[in-house]
Amino acid sequence: MSKLKTPDWVLEGYKSEDEYNKAKGIKKKMSAGKTFKIRKCPKCGSDEISVVLGFDEGKGKGEWECRKCKWVGKNLNEEDVSEEEFMKYLEEKEK
């Protein structure tokens, strides 16, 4: 069983976690309800991203590929959005 650890914001003397996050520049957005991820290519910004599969079935490389600019890599841009924002995104994509 692991031991409990005192949070960093307490150890550094801040009065709240929000105050600590603001001082350190950490943007922690807690969202209520469902959230969706939109994955985008870091090179061209396209959302036409797919997983690169390895040669053996079920053993992927863990890489992503952009179908538009043919970029391949692991560090793609992910954006968490609410259900309403996701529906707006899908409507704009249809046009």
Q: E-assigned strands of the chain?
A: 35-40, 49-52, 63-66, 72-73, 77-82
Average pLDDT over every residue of 30-37: 73
Alpha carbon distance 60, 54 (integer Å): 5
Q: Report the pLDDT value the prediction gives residue 88, as an integer from 0 to 100.
A: 92
Query: Exposure pattern of 68-84 as b/e (b: 16+ CB <10 Å)?
Result: eeebeeeebeeeebeee
Q: What's the confidence (pLDDT) of residue 32?
A: 62
Q: Which residues contact 47 (CB under 8 A, 6 or more apart)?
A: 38, 39, 40, 41, 93
Quote the tokens at residue 71. 């970029």
- Res. 64 pLDDT band, cuts 50 70 90: confident
pTM over 0.75: no
- Two tokens at 60? 């992927």
